Structure 1
């Protein structure tokens, strides 16, 4: 599993704990977030999670073509460039090209955003290799039954008063 912009890593760490045979790669450009995730990995003694600090497309480009991800998660990708940390957006063409290179038939891509155009751009840039599996615009902030419905994201949604959309794309 690949997770881009994992925030505090809650989703990936929960999945890594639940699925110890799967390896999880987390990429975040925020060094403080990545450091905290690293501490949580050590605290939980997880051997199936790796966290990298850097820009997504640059870190992905370093991976060998033999690396394949069957699941890619990207939560609340920022639609704006951060002045303090200027970098390409997660849904840019370069990052999407790397996602395509590192996924295979049947791979799934999940994204959550409170900006519909973010989901539209992912869908456009990952097509035709991925087809839209599901799209729920907008859903409850509780995201009941969704893989990505962790307590932290529920609080995040409620605090920001947003109703996010969820997209699941499947590699064809």
Structure 2
């Protein structure tokens, strides 16, 4: 008879602790306390800890990936199914078309009217809805704390005159890409 109240109180304590832990996790997620602040000149945004840093991209853009460079293998089928990236470039007035239908795209215009920037969020179709929501939160956290002229834009990469293709650079010192290029 004495055992029944002890079991009931242990069950109630466990249930309450479980609910408190879930509420704490939801509050932490809502406040994003564990997210890091990523800065590049006057650009600043908050990302989950697993995301990379802002890197120079092709055609004079800046790119932020959902994985650090050391954990990414560009061209990998798994990467294409889970790729999330934010591309930032000066807004020229003309919007680029879709990139072949492999991703969904959301755009955000930033900065003053005289020197606006365009941030494009590209999400692969294989990304889960939870990660899409997370990526959209990252895009909405993008801010300019100074004038956009203070951003150091990377130089555009030259393409070969014949065919307009970029030269394949060997990843991690491997000779596979070089040998394939000769083939």
If the length of structure 2 is used for normalisation, what is the TM-score? 0.25
Q: Which has the larger radius of gyration?
A: 2
